[in-house]
A and B are shown apart, each in its own frame.
Chain A
Amino acid sequence: MSFRLSNGFALLGIFSLGLVWPYSVNSAELTPITEQQLIAQPALCVALHQGRKCFTKVTLTWHVQALGNFCLYQKSPRRKVKCWQKSKGNSTLLEFESSEKLTFQLINQQNNLVAETAIDVSWVHKATPRKRRWRLF
């Protein structure tokens, strides 16, 4: 169903409003950095299709109350991301590339979990039983 717009700019405004409203829940906006925290920004990666690998650049920021040695790990599969010596806070840029939610953990030198965060993966289109072929015009 196609409509030529009689008031195109009004609709453009409505759509623009909707465009910016629902996107990207960001954990940094929800909770201020106070105690021991690990924050992913953005905390959501959106792929076009369900099951497709999602790509984004994520900043992982951590903050603790006392100086120490800390390492940042990806939980599963376990992988070291980066370590810091004598620090109480820092950040690192990560190339996120996954089709599913990934959890990251901040571990201290006693190998204790200090803080945890996750980057979720969502999608626009569900997997469909129909294969598609489309032409633009």
Chain B
Amino acid sequence: MIYRSLLISIFCLMSNLAFSAEKELDKKTTLFDQTFSWQIMAGLSAVYNPYILTDVKQEEVNDYLAFSLLIDFYYKGFFLQSNNRRIEGLFQGGELGYQLLDKNDWALDIIAKPYLPGFIPEDIVKGQNKRIPSIEGLKDRDIGLGIGLRYSKYYEDAIFSFDLATLKPTDGKGWLADFFYSHLFLYRNWDIYVGTGFTFYSDAIVDYYLGVGHDEVTTARAYYKAKSGFRSQLELFARHPISKNWTFNAGITQSYYSNAMSDSPIVNKHNITQVMFGAVYVF
């Protein structure tokens, strides 16, 4: 209910700001030399993407391969954009939004995006070649679709952004604050990004995804009421053109999860290293 109210309020705010934003677009011929643009990309990548959940591993060859369709669309301040660094997909990286304010060196957007992937314990167990008592019988955790505001600050070769969002599966009780800084280094035809991120999750979010309810308690997992927690990240990503339509992409991300997450009976990791490399075709 709170989530729905917030959604309505933000879209009302968006409507009020739309007219003034339109006027700004007309003036900014450098940045807004196009009012409409789109781009479609398809990617194939190899990914090493371990789960934080206890005993869940990448098992099959297909678990290490990912195909993705990435769509970017922009029209007069509205945008749909996929995460074209994150080759694995739109669902965990795509964003639908509206540009409330866009100045030379900063911007304010309203965005809707899946902040957390969610999981279906039954499907996870089916995909593994073994029993996982800590996961079996858990209720589904829905995708963490969130709506929020993003402030972005642009520098010469870097960007800082801050998202404040609430997530739908927690009925608006859960919120997160996401800070991200990325610096671009150019070396010949390479784009090399070095980034760091910090995401604070409220207790309602951590508890929804990693808590163990009274009705989920078994001998393999005790009751767990989670507190608020955070994830910090370091990433390195590189991109190089192969041809007019193809790019090579590679990246590594190191994530650290706070005690509120790693103390959960369904989690057994503090740190995760994720690696991907692949090619993207730009249509």
Contact in complex: A133, B274 (CB < 8 Å): no
Contact in complex: A8, B61 (CB < 8 Å): yes
- From the candidates B39, B67, B244, name the one contacting A122 in the complex (CB within 8 A): B244
| B185 CB within 8 Å of chain A | no
Q: Which residues of B contact A (CB under 8 A)?
A: 31-35, 37, 39, 44, 49, 61-63, 65-69, 71-72, 74, 79, 81, 83-86, 88-93, 107, 152, 154, 159, 161, 180, 182, 186, 188-189, 191, 195, 197, 233, 235, 237, 239-247, 251-253, 255, 274, 276, 279, 281-282
Contact in complex: A131, B243 (CB < 8 Å): no
Contact in complex: B62, A48 (CB < 8 Å): no
Interface centre among A5, A8, A15, A136 (most CB of B within 10 A): A136
Q: Which residues from chain B contact A55 at a C-beta distance below 8 Å? A: 188-189
- From the candidates B44, B83, B276, name the one contacting A12 in the complex (CB within 8 A): B44
Shortest A20–chain B CB gap in Å is: 9
Contact in complex: B91, A1 (CB < 8 Å): yes
Question: Who on chain A is nearest to B65 by CB?
Answer: A8
| Given known A124-B241, A137-B255, contact A2–B92 (CB-CB < 8 A) | yes
Contact in complex: B86, A137 (CB < 8 Å): yes
Contact in complex: A134, B241 (CB < 8 Å): no
Kindly list 11 other residue pairs between chains A and B, CB separation below 8 angstroms, not including A3-B67, A124-B246.
Answer: A2-B66, A23-B242, A46-B241, A48-B240, A52-B186, A122-B244, A123-B244, A130-B74, A131-B152, A131-B159, A134-B86
Q: Which residues from chain B contact A133 at a C-beta distance below 8 Å? A: 152, 159, 161, 180, 182
Q: Which residues from chain B contact A130 at a C-beta distance below 8 Å? A: 37, 72, 74, 79, 81
Interface centre among B68, B180, B244 (most CB of A within 10 A): B244
> In the complex, what distance in Å separates the CA atom of A15 from the CA atom of B66?
13
| Given known A48-B191, A55-B189, A134-B83, contact A11–B276 (CB-CB < 8 A) | no
Contact in complex: A2, B180 (CB < 8 Å): no
- From the candidates B61, B154, B188, name the one contacting A131 in the complex (CB within 8 A): B154
Contact in complex: B274, A137 (CB < 8 Å): yes
Interface centre among A8, A23, A24 (most CB of B within 10 A): A8
- From the candidates A2, A48, A131, name the one contacting B189 in the complex (CB within 8 A): A48
Q: Which residues from chain A contact B84 at a C-beta distance below 8 Å? A: 134
> In the complex, what distance in Å separates the CA atom of A55 from the CA atom of B188?
6
> In the complex, what distance in Å separates the CA atom of A68 from the CA atom of B237?
51
Contact in complex: B180, A135 (CB < 8 Å): yes
Q: List 10 A-B contacts (CB under 8 A).
A: A2-B68, A3-B69, A5-B65, A5-B67, A8-B62, A12-B44, A18-B281, A23-B244, A54-B189, A136-B85
A1-40: which residues lie under 8 A (CB-CB) from chain B? 1-6, 8, 11-12, 15, 18-19, 22-24
Contact in complex: A136, B276 (CB < 8 Å): yes
> In the complex, what distance in Å separates the CA atom of A132 from the CA atom of B239?
15
| A47 CB within 8 Å of chain B | yes
Contact in complex: A5, B33 (CB < 8 Å): no
| A85 CB within 8 Å of chain B | no
Interface centre among A8, A52, A137 (most CB of B within 10 A): A137
